[in-house]
Structure 1
Amino acid sequence: GCRSETGGFDTEKFAAQATNPQIKMIEIKLSQGAKPGHGGVLPGAKVTEEIAEARGIPVGVECISPAGHSAFSTPMELMDFIGALRELSGGKPVGFKLCVGHKWEFMAVVKAMLESGIRPDFIVVDGTEGGTGAAPLEFTNRLGTPLRQGLAFVHNTLVGAGLRDEIKLGASGKLISAFDIASALCLGADWVNSARGFMLALGCIQSQSCHTNRCPVGVATQDAKRQKALVVPDKATRVANFHRNTVKALMDFAHAAGLETPKGFKPEHVYVREGNRDVMPASAALDWLKPDDLLTKDDIPGFTTYWAMADARTFEPVKSLAAAREERHG
């Protein structure tokens, strides 16, 4: 509900919406796991009067959410946009969500944080496992970085730049069970966003017809007849049960690991398959940077090459991969 008639960003509409006491935080979606670099389409058939009023768009008219933002085009401009949204919302937390693509792109954003002095309050890392029935099938599970690798990379980059303590880190991407949540916390997440589990509890059968307005179980449709399939009293109980039992199972995992709360999960608490497929704790299988490593060290495999390619003023690499590697190795 914050777009102009031409699809751009409307500051006045945003300020009016964001200051609503129900709004607790603001998230800029750079990309999502299901549709990285693709954007989205809300078909005209799904734009009812209710949807049109909420989103500030014409009834029955297709609404395009393009892959790229018109409000910014460089990492520094993204930081300025974050600062503007924070001011317009009255100081509410502002962050962004992304499915990691090229490593230098995220590192360019981190360099922009260092140069501008502006920090997002939080970052949500989505994995390519993220899904929606409206996603292009060729994109799902293929474009972007899987959550485990993407989350560890973002966590380590923030640590290496000396920013991790200032920014909260969320994780999303096919996280359903208590173990999914625990493993994400082990790899650096402060919290987990879960959509799929609640959708399944609500009755979703993954028919992949979200965009057609013909969802057979009434979840993703504005068709009044099809919505009757979603019996609210029954589904509300199922969703509440799923939430309660998943949180209980998460606490059971923590206690089984000798921890008082899930906040104590560390990389050594989860085992992964890496390299030659040996099963090792994540603390040994993955690289873990120390504070300010990227600012003080010149040779960190998997990091310094891409760090050299990143620039706060562009998402494009300022050096080729070969040049950055040659510079790193002398």
Structure 2
Amino acid sequence: MRNQILGALTALFIFNLLVGFYWHPAWWFLLLTVMLLVLAIVDTVQNKHSILKNFPLIGRTRWTVETLRPFIQQYVLESDTGGAPISRMFRSIVYQRAKNSRETIPFGTQLNTYDDGYEWIGHSLSARDIDEMNHDPRVTIGGKDCKQPYLASILNISAMSFGSLSKNAILALNKGAKKGNFFHNTGEGGLTPYHEENGGDIVWQIGTGYFGCRTKDGKFDADLFKEKACLPQVKMIEIKLSQGAKPGHGGILPAYKNTPEIAKIRGVEPGTQVDSPPRHSAFSTPLEMIDYIQKLRDLSGGKPIGIKLALGRKSEFIAMCKAMVETGITPDFITVDGGEGGTGAAPLEYTNSIGFPLREALAFVDDCLIGFDLRKQVKIIASGKIISAFQLVKNLSLGADICNSARGMMLALGCVQSLSCNTNKCPTGVATQDPKLAKGLDVTDKSERVYRFHKKTLHALMDMLSSTGHVSTTELNRTHIFRRVDQASIARYDEIFPLVKTGTLLGDDIPERFKLHVKEANSDSFMPCSLLAEIEEETKSVS
């Protein structure tokens, strides 16, 4: 095929050359013919791509089609229920609410209600008038040791760093949060002037890189932390143990996003890839983690201190609970991130196959806190692909007190799910550090969209609760959500995720599904006891 293509282009070149002698305008076509012939020769002599070598020039259409594929898929082929990771149906509802457009749909659901896994909530004959409902539901976060409890909205902005997002995106999110009176999580990139500029409530996330409060060698700096944590705008502090995008892997900031400004804020070298460590250097055991929580609480003047994790080994979380029971010290909140991935760029295997999905993780964390009689002191925040009011309802029913949304807020900013977050070429200026692209994101307009998305989603939530006969989100529990498990059975959440009794994990009558994990858990180590025993035996045999 290679010879035929080169032969055809050579023949075309000769033909154009001959015609040019008799009809001079044909010389312009000769330029095109020469260019095509040169490209074909280059394709033939290169050794990097087999397709180009075997099919010179024609093989280039493959890359052109691959480049256009996401756009053709989304704008031509995709159905309302299609599209991943967020379907067009849910992207559309965010756009409609953010733009204050019509948000009703005609002619019934497009979902197949007889598919396995279909979920719903039952309505009530004791339904309430929507006007009777509180349209701004809130939850107080702060346990017995907290001196500055925070009254949080049910829906907030999840962790997304300046670096992952553009300056204008951070400004718009925080301005929207200020107007709607909900919090904005900084992400592990730390507190920046763009988080502070518009005065929205801040949850400062402290990751393993300790950005914004780190020494020159990357360790935790207590003085720098205290200076920023005591700012009035910082309402809570969140210690990031792991995240759903890449559980067990530190955060990644690509070199092309690490601008001199970001490097200065984070205390790193500009133009280099920044890989946060996979674990904290400030503590290495559950008991040390609890001490660190108390240390941050004292340094911040008694503000709520929490942890964020994607659930991995169940025994590790139980080990944390044992440490809480032993010391009498608890975090004020725990953010549970789904292992199904999020806004952060991550290797495929981490996004697809590491960490518990949100629903299972959320139920387990709630059960453990109840089982160790810690639930009254600790609030739970759910984070992971939360877009619609029903997704809020499901997580609140499973045990969450409030929810965070990252991708929902990005869509409200104008994200079109181009799946280019990790390329620095985000066409909407949301997830890029290219100033030309970021300039296209108008802070004033997009902040209004963030505000409206939050407001109208909460209105939809309370509208749903009025139909189910509930007065408050605190009345939701696992008995309210139904799932079609298969074609022969339907189960409620409390049947799929059985409840535990308060304090049941403190005694000897431990439910069977918890026994192994409780036995493995040790407050002196995140490692399971069985593994510690093996290491000890190996050490003895060597010595």
TM-score, structure 2 length as denominator?
0.57
Q: Does 1:98 align with 2:309?
A: yes
Spell out the pairing of 1:192-211 with structure 2 (5 A cutoff): 192-211=403-422
AA of the residue aligned to 1:32: Q
Distance in 2, matches of 1:90 and 1:277, equals: 56
* 8 Å Cα contact 1:169/1:191 also seen in 2: yes
AA of the residue aligned to 2:528: P
Q: Any unmatched runs of 5+ in structure 2?
A: 1-211, 532-543
The corresponding residue for 1:265 is 476
The corresponding residue for 1:241 is 452
Distance in 2, matches of 1:118 and 1:258, equals: 37
The corresponding residue for 1:308 is 519
Spell out the pairing of 1:116-265 with structure 2 (5 A cutoff): 116-132=327-343, 134-265=345-476
Spell out the pairing of 1:72-83 with structure 2 (5 A cutoff): 72-83=283-294
Distance in 2, matches of 1:137 and 1:217, equals: 24
Residues 32-54 of structure 1, C-alpha deviation per residue, up to 9 Å, x if partnerless? 11110111122333233432343
* 8 Å Cα contact 2:239/2:308 also seen in 1: yes
Counterpart pick for 1:296 among 504, 507, 517: 507
* 8 Å Cα contact 1:133/1:209 also seen in 2: no
Question: Which structure is larger by alpha-carbon Rg, 1 or 2?
Answer: 2
SS in 2 for 1:72: coil
Counterpart pick for 1:11 among 203, 206, 222: 222
SS in 1 for 2:505: helix
Which shows bigger deviation, 17-26 or 294-303?
294-303
The corresponding residue for 2:273 is 62
The corresponding residue for 2:73 is none
- Structural RMSD (CA): 1.8
Counterpart pick for 1:84 among 272, 275, 295: 295
SS in 2 for 1:193: strand
* 8 Å Cα contact 1:218/1:228 also seen in 2: yes
Distance in 2, matches of 1:261 and 1:252, equals: 11
SS in 2 for 1:319: helix
SS in 1 for 2:347: coil
Residues 57-89 of structure 1, C-alpha deviation per residue, up to 9 Å, x if partnerless? 344343321111111111111111111111111
1:275/1:155 Cα in 2 relative to 1: closer, same or farther (>3 Å)? farther
AA of the residue aligned to 2:461: L
Could you tell me the percent identity over the aligned residues?
52
1:133/1:292 Cα in 2 relative to 1: closer, same or farther (>3 Å)? closer
Residues 197-224 of structure 1, C-alpha deviation per residue, up to 9 Å, x if partnerless? 1111112223333233222211111211
AA of the residue aligned to 2:265: A
Distance in 1, matches of 2:262 and 2:530, equals: 46
Misfit runs of 4+, over 6 Å: none
Counterpart pick for 2:243 among 23, 32, 37: 32
The corresponding residue for 1:51 is 262
The corresponding residue for 2:148 is none
Distance in 1, matches of 2:487 and 2:346, equals: 33
Q: Does 1:112 align with 2:323?
A: yes
* 8 Å Cα contact 1:133/1:208 also seen in 2: no
Residues 154-197 of structure 1, C-alpha deviation per residue, up to 9 Å, x if partnerless? 00011010111111111111111100101111011110011111
TM-score, structure 1 length as denominator?
0.92
AA of the residue aligned to 1:194: S
Residues 297-316 of structure 1, C-alpha deviation per residue, up to 9 Å, x if partnerless? 43412112210110000111
Distance in 2, matches of 1:9 and 1:233, equals: 36
SS in 1 for 2:524: coil
* 8 Å Cα contact 2:343/2:406 also seen in 1: no
Distance in 2, matches of 1:141 and 1:71, equals: 30
Distance in 2, matches of 1:37 and 1:53, equals: 26
1:26/1:276 Cα in 2 relative to 1: closer, same or farther (>3 Å)? farther
Q: Any unmatched runs of 5+ in structure 1?
A: 321-330
AA of the residue aligned to 2:373: G
Distance in 2, matches of 1:268 and 1:76, equals: 35
Which shows bigger deviation, 157-166 or 58-67?
58-67
1:84/1:140 Cα in 2 relative to 1: closer, same or farther (>3 Å)? same
SS in 1 for 2:354: coil
Aligned residue pairs: how many? 320
Distance in 1, matches of 2:296 and 2:488, equals: 45
Residues 139-165 of structure 1, C-alpha deviation per residue, up to 9 Å, x if partnerless? 113210011111010000110101111
